[in-house]
């Protein structure tokens, strides 16, 4: 937001004399306005005769300028080297582009424009907003002990041939600072007789080159400048209220504080929009105060005075050469008067904020709000605005406490609610199962659908096969709520279950997965459990099955489960653990080869010879570890060792 400071230099006051400074009177029509573009981003260069500096889209070097909406560093915006103040997206309440100049020591022209369509012998204000850009906190400029070269410019208005100057002013040095500060600069000039065109200039007046003489310029304006006429009444205050039975009203208007020599017309209106002249013959303001008698007012009437520097300017049909006094109003009330609403119907959509219902304010009157055309409940008193709780018809009436001539005439205002596009904008993530696709549904029918990525389609539902982020913007042209809604889908790729390995501890089997997740486990593909451990499993060839909870994918693995294998045996003749054997050897069709630690085969166990008593060639072998290989169908399925203890 702009900093509202104004720069005044020397001020002269007259009905037609140049002023150095801004207009301190009533302003009229804007004849010219330049804001360098309202959108954000980069602006187009000025015409060659409008500036003597060179255009660039990069950070301006000395003698260059650019047109941008900000001074932030970045790829797509101005690559500020931190020399300038950081300014995002304009500086005023209406963000847009501005003229950014890196001035040098030459007396170049920052901005020059031919202004046409002016009224002759009329005062105009030439104004603009400007700020120095160098940030002294950057410490990048060494001039003036780190303060940098100050900004200094000249403001001029010339005739169209640039042979006669109408007014000029020099700002003097505008020092750089630690914060950016836009201020308004300008002057007042007077057009000559028969003159309708001028040249306005903003020029570099700083003859010192170096670092820091950089500035931003925005909102250049040429506007008619009047004086400060005051319209009042000898008898009544402005906006005095009368009842209809007290009419007609007669009173005297009092006009003062205008410059001598101006011409004026008395005007009246019943709606403050359409104005008519009370007397079509202009008068000249030749006294400090002028009175005008008004008679036979029977209804609300507004009065003002139109001013111009000459009768020809005042007789202009569209009054483009005029300025106006304040409006003086006499209000007449009757029993049929009702408040005037800004709109008879309002609406809101979805969960948006409920708008305020509003009545055109009338000075010295108040408004009450009701839920019925007659009687009903008082919802709010003494307010021209009312925010209801929801849709319905609401009624506004003037409070007649102080004016008994007012009737209870209520103005209805309808508030409508539309559901708009009602969708869940952020549904839960969707899994793609194997090679199947996922169907994405915008949910709102009969609309325009803009999917991103666009290749997926433009219908209400689309099918996608790849994980990623998908969005659809929904526009329902038949819905009173024109606001578009966006629905965002997160599609996740699914990884099938994968068994890493199967182990056993005793008679329990443990299944290990490559990725931990929520799975179900089974040994027969029919009965499933959530645990990856199976207990009390019988020896044999086992099939282990694993599936995900949504039954999208499955994995399986064979595992030859031998059951319990003794770690040692004690052949001491006590009939307990006297032999080494593998349980279910016959049923499993196993062969077991037993070796000593040197690799010499000691014995072979099979269905015909299922046990070993610790002897070799009927001789007892010493206590030691002996190795074994368990073989099935000529495949070694396990290698281990057993301890023989005497």
Supply the pTM of this predicted model. 0.61
Q: Which helix (H) or strand (E) holds 198?
A: strand 198-204
Q: How far is CA 78 from the centre of its chain?
A: 20
pLDDT tens for each residue of 313-329: 987 667 789 999 999 99
Q: What was the pLDDT predicted at 87?
A: 67
- Weakly modelled stretches of the chain, pLDDT under 70: 1-20, 72-82, 87-94, 316-317, 434
Q: Which of helix, strand or coil describes residue 443? A: coil
Q: What was the pLDDT predicted at 6?
A: 36
pLDDT tens for each residue of 223-280: 999 999 999 999 999 999 999 999 999 999 999 988 888 999 999 999 999 999 998 8
Q: What was the pLDDT predicted at 388?
A: 96
Do 642 and 567 contact (CB within 8 A), yes or no?
A: yes
Tell me the pLDDT of the chain averaged across its residues: 88
Q: What was the pLDDT predicted at 65?
A: 93
87 HSE (CA, 13 A, CB side): 32
For residues 340 and 272, give the distance between their C-alpha atoms in angstroms, rounded to a whole number.
Answer: 14
Do 120 and 196 contact (CB within 8 A), yes or no?
A: yes
Q: What was the pLDDT predicted at 280?
A: 87
Q: What was the pLDDT predicted at 326?
A: 96
Q: Which residues pair with 198 in a beta bridge?
A: 115, 159
Q: What was the pLDDT predicted at 570?
A: 96
């Amino acid at each position: 937001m702009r900093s509202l400071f104004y720069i005044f230099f020397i001020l002269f006051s007259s009905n037609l004399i140049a002023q150095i400074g801004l207009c301190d009177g009533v302003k009229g029509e804007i004849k010219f306005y330049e804001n360098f573009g309202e959108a954000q981003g980069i602006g187009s260069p000025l015409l060659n005769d409008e500036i003597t500096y060179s255009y660039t889209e990069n950070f301006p070097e000395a003698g260059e300028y650019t047109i941008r909406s900000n001074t932030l560093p970045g790829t797509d915006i101005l690559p500020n080297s931190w020399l300038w103040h950081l300014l995002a997206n304009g500086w005023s309440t209406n963000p847009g582009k501005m003229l950014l100049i890196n001035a040098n020591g030459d007396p170049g022209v920052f901005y020059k424009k031919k202004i046409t369509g002016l009224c002759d012998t009329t005062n105009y204000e030439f104004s603009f907003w400007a700020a120095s850009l160098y940030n002294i906190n950057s410490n990048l400029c060494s001039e003036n002990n780190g303060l940098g070269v100050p900004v200094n410019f000249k403001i001029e208005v010339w005739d169209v041939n640039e042979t006669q100057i109408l007014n000029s002013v020099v700002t003097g040095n505008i020092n750089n600072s630690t914060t950016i500060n836009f201020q308004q600069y300008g002057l007042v000039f007077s057009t000559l007789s028969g003159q309708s065109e001028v040249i306005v200039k903003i020029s570099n007046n700083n003859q010192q080159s170096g670092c820091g003489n950089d500035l931003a310029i925005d909102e250049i304006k040429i506007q008619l400048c009047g004086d400060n006429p005051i319209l009042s009444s000898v008898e009544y205050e402005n906006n005095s209220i009368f009842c209809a039975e007290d009419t007609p009203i007669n009173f005297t208007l009092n006009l003062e504080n205008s410059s001598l020599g101006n011409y004026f017309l008395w005007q009246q209106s019943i709606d403050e929009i359409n104005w008519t002249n009370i007397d079509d013959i202009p008068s000249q303001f030749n006294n400090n105060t002028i009175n005008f008698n008004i008679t036979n007012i029977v209804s609300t009437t507004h009065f003002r005075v139109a001013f111009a520097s000459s009768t020809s300017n005042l007789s202009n049909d569209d009054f483009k050469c005029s300025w106006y006094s304040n409006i003086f109003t006499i209000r007449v009330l009757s029993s049929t008067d009702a408040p005037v609403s800004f709109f008879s119907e309002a609406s809101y959509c979805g969960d948006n904020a409920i708008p305020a219902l509003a009545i055109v304010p009338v000075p010295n009157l108040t408004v009450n709000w009701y839920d019925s055309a007659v009687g009903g409940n008082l919802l709010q008193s003494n307010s021209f605005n009312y925010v209801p709780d929801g849709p319905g018809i609401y009624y506004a009436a003037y409070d007649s406490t102080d004016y008994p001539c007012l009737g209870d005439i209520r103005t209805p205002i309808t508030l409508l609610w539309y559901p708009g596009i009602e969708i869940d904008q952020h549904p839960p993530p969707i899994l793609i199962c194997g090679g199947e696709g996922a169907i994405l549904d915008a949910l709102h029918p009969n609309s325009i659908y803009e999917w991103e990525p666009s290749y997926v389609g433009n219908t209400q539902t689309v099918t996608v096969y790849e994980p990623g982020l998908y969005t659809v913007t929904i526009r329902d042209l038949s819905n009173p709520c024109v606001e578009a809604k966006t629905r965002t889908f997160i599609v996740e790729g699914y990884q099938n279950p994968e068994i890493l390995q199967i182990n056993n501890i005793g008679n329990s089997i443990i299944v290990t997965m490559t990725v931990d997740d929520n799975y179900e486990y089974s040994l027969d593909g029919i009965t499933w459990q959530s645990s990856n451990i199976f207990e009390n499993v019988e020896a044999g060839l086992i099939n282990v099955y694993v599936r995900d909870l949504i039954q999208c994918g499955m994995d399986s693995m064979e595992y030859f489960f031998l059951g319990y294998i003794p770690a040692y045996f004690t052949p001491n003749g006590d009939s307990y653990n006297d032999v080494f054997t593998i349980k279910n050897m016959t049923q499993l069709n196993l062969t077991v080869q037993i070796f000593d630690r040197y690799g010499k085969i000691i014995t072979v166990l099979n269905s015909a010879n299922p046990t070993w008593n610790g002897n070799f060639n009927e001789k007892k072998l010493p206590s030691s570890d002996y190795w074994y290989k368990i073989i099935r169908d000529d495949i070694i399925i396990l290698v281990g060792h057993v301890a023989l203890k005497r």
